[in-house]
Structure 1
C-alpha cells in the first residue's frame, strides 16, 4: 500500500502502524515523489491527504490515473468539505475519512480498498487472457465469430460472406477451439465481455 502525506509525523505514524499490521508500505512526503515512482504492483491501495502543497490530493488523484495508477484511493483530511468529497468520489475514490478518525476506521477502509482492487485486478487479468485468445483468430474467423454471436445460421453467414456453408462450419469449429468455449452461449458471453458496445442477438444460432 502507499501513503502520501506532507506532514512528516502523520506519514511516520501511518507507515509504522500499517507495517506493524503486516502490510508492505511505501510512504511519500510529496505528491511528486509518488508520480516519479511509477505505478505499483497490485493489489494495493493509496491513502493520501487531501490538502498538500503544490499538488493537492484531487490533482494528484487525476495525475495518478493519467500515468497508469489503478489502485483504489482513500482520502484523509481535516478540512474535508462536501464539494471535495463529491469530486473525489466521482473520480473513483473509495473512501473519504475526516480527521479525527479511529485506527479501526482507517484499517477497515484499507481492507475494503484492497478487496476491491483484488477483484478488479483479477477481472483485468481474465479479460487480458480473453483478448489473447481472441487475437489468435484470423480476420475471417473474427467475422464468423461475431455473426454466430448475433444469431446467424451457418447458411446465412455463408451467403453474407460469399463462401460455402462447409467452409463456415470449419471456421466456426476453429473459432470455438481457439476461444476454448464449448457452446454458443459461452461464445456470446465471451464476445460481450470483449466488445460490450457491439449488440448481440437473442436468436438461437443454428448449426
Structure 2
C-alpha cells in the first residue's frame, strides 16, 4: 500500500535510516527534526501517518499527540522511544496511538505498525468523505423535507406526520420520497439512520 510517512525525530541518523526503510517499500517520506518543523510545513492535515519520537526538544511526543487531538487532527501515530515505560505506553495507546516501539526496534515491526496506521488513515478519510457527501445531500433538502425527515426519525407514521405538520398524507409521502431520492438512500432503514444522525432521538 502506498502512502506518506511523516517522521519526527531529533536524531538525524534515525530520520535517515527510517527514510531509507520506508522508501524501500514504496512510501513517500517527509522528515522533521521537531514538531514545530512539522507544523510549519503544514503537514498536519495531510494524508498518511506520523512516526513520532517521544523524547523531543520543546513539545514531547505525547503532548504533541494531545495537541493534534485537540485540533481534531486524526493522522494515526506510531510512537518510538529509547526511554519508554509502561505508563508512557499506556497513555499513548489510550490516546489512540497505533503502536509504541522501543528503540532499537525490528524493521519489520516498524513496517507492520506503519502499514496498520496507513490503513487506519485510509479508512478514516473514506468515512470523512462519506460524511461530507451525506451532509451536502442533507443541505439540499427543503425545509419541509427536513421536517418530514425529523418526524420519520421519531418513528411516526405518515398519518401522524401529516397531522403534526398540518399537511395531507400524500404530501408527506411526496416529501419523504423526495428526501430519500436526494439523500440517495436505498431503503427506509437507511433513510431513518441518516435522519437520526441529524435529528438525534432522545
How far, CA to CA, are the matches of 2:66 and 2:133 in structure 1? 28
How far, CA to CA, are the matches of 2:157 and 2:90 in structure 1? 50
- Pick the aligned partner of 2:125 from 113, 118, 121: 121
Q: Is the 8 A contact 2:152 2:195 kept in 1?
A: no
Normalising by the residue count of structure 2, what TM-score does the alignment of the two structures yield? 0.90
TM-fit CA distance, 1:175: 0.9
TM-fit CA distance, 1:182: 3.7
TM-fit CA distance, 1:5: 0.2
Aligned twin of 1:41:
46
Aligned twin of 1:23:
27
In structure 2, do the counterparts of structure 1 residues 182 and 69 end up closer, same or farther at CA, with 3 Å as the change threshold? closer
- Unaligned runs of 5+ residues in structure 2 are none
- Pick the aligned partner of 1:166 from 170, 173, 180: 170
Q: Is the 8 A contact 1:46 1:71 kept in 2?
A: yes
Q: Is the 8 A contact 1:77 1:97 kept in 2?
A: yes
2:73 is paired with a residue whose SS is coil
How far, CA to CA, are the matches of 1:34 and 1:174 in structure 2? 47
Aligned twin of 2:91:
87
- Unaligned runs of 5+ residues in structure 1 are 201-207
The number of residue pairs the alignment matches comes to 197
1:51 is paired with a residue whose SS is coil
Aligned twin of 2:18:
14
TM-fit CA distance, 1:199: 2.5
How far, CA to CA, are the matches of 1:182 and 1:149 in structure 2? 16
Normalising by the residue count of structure 1, what TM-score does the alignment of the two structures yield? 0.88
TM-fit CA distance, 1:40: 4.2
Q: Is the 8 A contact 1:35 1:64 kept in 2?
A: no
1:112 aligns with 2:122: no
Q: Is the 8 A contact 1:73 1:95 kept in 2?
A: yes
Aligned twin of 2:143:
139
How far, CA to CA, are the matches of 1:172 and 1:73 in structure 2? 43
1:148 aligns with 2:148: no
How far, CA to CA, are the matches of 1:118 and 1:168 in structure 2? 39
Higher alpha-carbon deviation: 110-119 or 167-176: 167-176
Give per-residue Cα distances to partners, 1:121-171, cap 9 Å, x unaligned.
Answer: 111111111111111112221121121233211110011112222321221
Give per-residue Cα distances to partners, 1:12-41, cap 9 Å, x unaligned.
Answer: 111122122211000001111112222243
1:25 is paired with a residue whose SS is strand
Q: Is the 8 A contact 1:11 1:27 kept in 2?
A: yes
Alignment of 1:67-82 (within 5 A): 67-82=71-86
